[in-house]
């Protein structure tokens, strides 16, 4: 069931609810039902993101591989859907004073604080995508050079240089992790020219993507620090959707940080503070475990990010460099044919990046603005409450 279907039926239901004046009791029942549905929708939506299990024959449409650009875009769609439903439950048709009662009076400001941190992560990721686009362009040079016929030494050298730049850039990105590493200064003279410039080093340390000393890993840590599952009576009340939505936000941001180059990721937590018995969280926990495993491997091995397309660039880039190293003029066309499969795959990867990266950037901006808007809506409600309680005094 596509996400839009949920939204349609559910928004319809909400708008009906808005027009009803209900007794407290009816309201409570309705609320329980809404919460039940919300949990179900969250579980369903994330289940769709899970990779198909190997036991199941994948006879239907091949799904987008986990951590690919297309998959992240789906993840962001899921986030937007959940956020819309969350707000409908918490704000629409509700007496604002309920939000200012404990425990929400504490939980909502905490959530708004997480929102702000998520906004900075969105910006860091937007910047990181610029780096990924840069990798894509380098890969494209290699593809177009190696696809050229007749195929000779010149093309091989051209491709080799682009691929070496690509691999170095991705490795640098991983090492300093600070920002978009530039690899435009190819060759010895160019490097010397850039190196002669006094401010270049200084500049590198200044051009943070977010701000000086900002660390994505720390932000993620701060976002999860006070995230505690509601217990007892709270577990069936409005504290639950706040917890669910905060968990989703944390998961989405954490995934993006792990996937896309981002300022300061070292020490990124792999622990996910969600109790395993929560039914709605099963798919999220499953996805988290899988990604965390990949991340741990990455930390050992070293690569710029878990983005599927980037991993492809890395792998194919390495193998094509090997090919260019062993290439000798005159070309043996048979040898060239050997790599044509790799080349085709690299070309296909570049094509997917070309199609997906800018829309992904735009979508992250959409998420950014959605968070800003949601935050403002909650602040309005809190403000309203502040005023009314001040009047009551």
Partner 1 sequence: MAGYQSVNPNHEGDQHLIAAAHHILKLLGAIRNLSDDTRKLLADLDIHLSIMTGNTINNGGEAIEVEKRLKCAERMVLRWQANQSMIWDTGPGEVSEFLGAIDEVQTLIDSFSGVSVNENGRVRELLYRANNIVQVAMLRLQEELIHILVHHKLYFEPEYVSFHSCRADVIYDESFVSLEDESVEASQRVSNTGSVSGEYIVDLIHPQVVPDLKAIANAMIAANYDQEFCAAFIGARQDALNEYFFVILELEKFSIDDVLKMKWSTLSSEIKKWNWAMKIIIRVYLASEKQLCNKILGGFDTVCSLCFVEIAKATFLCLLNFGEAVAMGSTQPEKLFCLLDMYEVLDDLLLEIDSLLFEEAGSYIRIEFHELLRKLGHSARQAFQELQKAIAADSSMKPLPRGGIHPLTRYVMNYIKTLTIYDDTLNLLFEDQNTEDTHSIVESETEQDISPITFCPLACHLRSITSALECSLVVKSRLYREDSLRHIFLMNNIHYVVQKIKGSDLRIFFGDEWIRKHIGKFQQHATSYQRATWCSVLSFLRDDGHCSNSVLKTSYKERCREFTNAFEDVYKIQIQWCITDPQLKEDLRISTSLKVIHAYRTFIGRNRISDKHIKYTVDDLEKLLLDFFEGTWRTLRNSRRR
What is the smallest separation between the CB atom of 329 and partner 1, expressed in angstroms?
Answer: 7
- State which residue, 199 or 277, has the beta carbon closest to partner 1: 199
| Number of alpha carbons in the 13 Å side-chain half-sphere of residue 375 | 19
What is the smallest separation between the CB atom of 132 and partner 1, expressed in angstroms?
Answer: 13
- State which residue, 161 or 290, has the beta carbon closest to partner 1: 161
Question: Does 126 participate in binding partner 1 (rule CB under 8 A)?
Answer: yes
What is the smallest separation between the CB atom of 116 and partner 1, expressed in angstroms?
Answer: 5
Question: Does 182 participate in binding partner 1 (rule CB under 8 A)?
Answer: yes
- Of the candidate residues 7, 30, 63, 144, the single one contacting partner 1 (CB under 8 A): 144
What is the smallest separation between the CB atom of 214 and partner 1, expressed in angstroms?
Answer: 5
Q: If you search the block for the tokens 């190696």, which residue do you land on?
A: 146
What is the smallest separation between the CB atom of 263 and partner 1, expressed in angstroms?
Answer: 10
What is the smallest separation between the CB atom of 69 and partner 1, expressed in angstroms?
Answer: 17
Candidates 81-89, 233-241, 299-307, 370-378; binding stretch for partner 1 (CB under 8 A): 370-378
| Number of alpha carbons in the 13 Å side-chain half-sphere of residue 203 | 9
Candidates 58-66, 73-81, 170-178, 195-203; binding stretch for partner 1 (CB under 8 A): 195-203
Q: Which of 241, 330, 304 is nearest to 31 (CA)?
A: 241
Question: Does 158 participate in binding partner 1 (rule CB under 8 A)?
Answer: yes
Residue 212: Cβ-neighbour burial (10 angstroms; 0-12, 13-18, 19+):
exposed
Question: Does 229 participate in binding partner 1 (rule CB under 8 A)?
Answer: no
Question: Does 392 participate in binding partner 1 (rule CB under 8 A)?
Answer: no
Candidates 27-35, 272-280, 317-325, 365-373; binding stretch for partner 1 (CB under 8 A): 365-373
Alpha helices in the chain (DSSP H): 3-18, 24-49, 69-90, 104-147, 153-176, 187-196, 199-206, 216-225, 239-259, 282-301, 308-326, 333-392
3 state SS of 232: helix
What is the smallest separation between the CB atom of 355 and partner 1, expressed in angstroms?
Answer: 15
CA distance linking residue 270 with residue 387, whole number of Å? 42
- State which residue, 129 or 240, has the beta carbon closest to partner 1: 129
How many residues of this chain bind partner 1 (CB under 8 A)?
Answer: 62
CA distance linking residue 274 with residue 291, whole number of Å? 15
Q: Which of 69, 126, 46, 41 is nearest to 290 (CA)?
A: 46
Candidates 1-9, 120-128, 234-242, 300-308; binding stretch for partner 1 (CB under 8 A): 120-128
- Of the candidate residues 18, 101, 175, 387, the single one contacting partner 1 (CB under 8 A): 387
CA distance linking residue 345 with residue 338, whole number of Å? 13
Q: Which of 139, 61, 70 is nearest to 347 (CA)?
A: 139
CA distance linking residue 48 with residue 1, whole number of Å? 9
Give yes or no for a contact between 347 and 312, defined as CB atoms under 8 angstroms apart.
Answer: no
- Of the candidate residues 35, 89, 99, 119, the single one contacting partner 1 (CB under 8 A): 119
Write phi, then psi, for 53 (nearest 5 degrees): -70, 145
Cα separations (Å) of 385 from 97, 299, 380, 388?
A: 6, 47, 9, 5
CA distance linking residue 119 with residue 106, whole number of Å? 21
- Of the candidate residues 55, 279, 330, 392, the single one contacting partner 1 (CB under 8 A): 330
Candidates 7-15, 77-85, 122-130, 349-357; binding stretch for partner 1 (CB under 8 A): 122-130
Residues of this chain, 196-225, that bind partner 1 according to CB under 8 A:
196-197, 199-200, 202-203, 206-212, 214
List of residues contacting partner 1 (CB under 8 A):
116-117, 119-120, 123, 126-127, 130, 134, 137-138, 140-141, 144, 148-150, 152-155, 157-158, 161-162, 180, 182-190, 193-194, 196-197, 199-200, 202-203, 206-212, 214, 329-331, 362, 365, 369, 372, 375-376, 387, 390
């Amino acid at each position: 069931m596509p996400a839009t279907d949920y939204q349609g039926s559910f928004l319809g239901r909400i708008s009906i609810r808005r027009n009803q004046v209900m007794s407290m009791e009816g309201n409570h029942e309705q609320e329980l039902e809404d919460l039940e549905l919300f949990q179900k929708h969250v579980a369903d939506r994330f289940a769709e993101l899970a990779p198909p299990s190997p036991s199941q024959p994948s006879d239907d449409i091949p799904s987008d591989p986990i951590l690919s650009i297309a998959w992240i875009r789906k993840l962001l769609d899921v986030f937007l859907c959940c956020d819309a439903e969350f707000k409908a439950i918490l704000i629409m048709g509700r007496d604002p004073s309920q939000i200012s009662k404990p425990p929400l009076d504490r939980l909502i400001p905490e959530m708004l604080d997480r929102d702000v941190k998520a906004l900075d992560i969105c910006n860091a990721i937007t910047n990181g995508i610029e780096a990924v686009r840069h990798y894509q362009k380098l890969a494209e040079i290699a593809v177009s050079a190696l696809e050229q016929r007749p195929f000779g030494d010149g093309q091989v050298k051209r491709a080799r240089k682009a691929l070496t730049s690509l691999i170095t850039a991705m490795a640098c990105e991983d090492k300093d992790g600070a920002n978009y590493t530039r690899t435009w200064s190819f060759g010895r003279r160019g490097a010397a020219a850039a190196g002669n410039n006094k401010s270049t080093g200084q500049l590198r340390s200044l051009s943070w993507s977010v701000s000086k000393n900002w660390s994505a890993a720390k932000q993620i840590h701060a976002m999860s620090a006070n995230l505690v599952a509601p217990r007892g009576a709270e577990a069936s009340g409005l504290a639950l959707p706040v917890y669910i939505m905060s968990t989703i936000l944390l998961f989405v941001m954490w995934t993006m940080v792990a996937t896309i180059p981002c300022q300061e990721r070292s020490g990124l937590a792999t622990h996910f503070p969600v109790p395993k018995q929560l039914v709605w969280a099963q798919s999220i926990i499953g996805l988290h475990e899988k990604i965390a495993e990949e991340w741990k491997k990455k930390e050992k091995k070293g690569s710029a990010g878990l983005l599927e397309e980037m991993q492809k660039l890395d792998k194919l880039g390495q193998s094509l460099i090997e090919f260019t190293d062993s290439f000798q003029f005159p070309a043996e066309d048979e040898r060239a044919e050997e790599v044509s499969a790799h080349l085709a795959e690299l070309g296909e990867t570049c094509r997917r990046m070309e199609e997906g990266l800018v829309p992904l950037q735009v979508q992250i901006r959409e998420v950014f603005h959605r968070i800003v808007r949601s935050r403002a809506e909650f602040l309005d409600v809190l403000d309203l409450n502040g005023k009314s309680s001040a009047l009551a005094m």
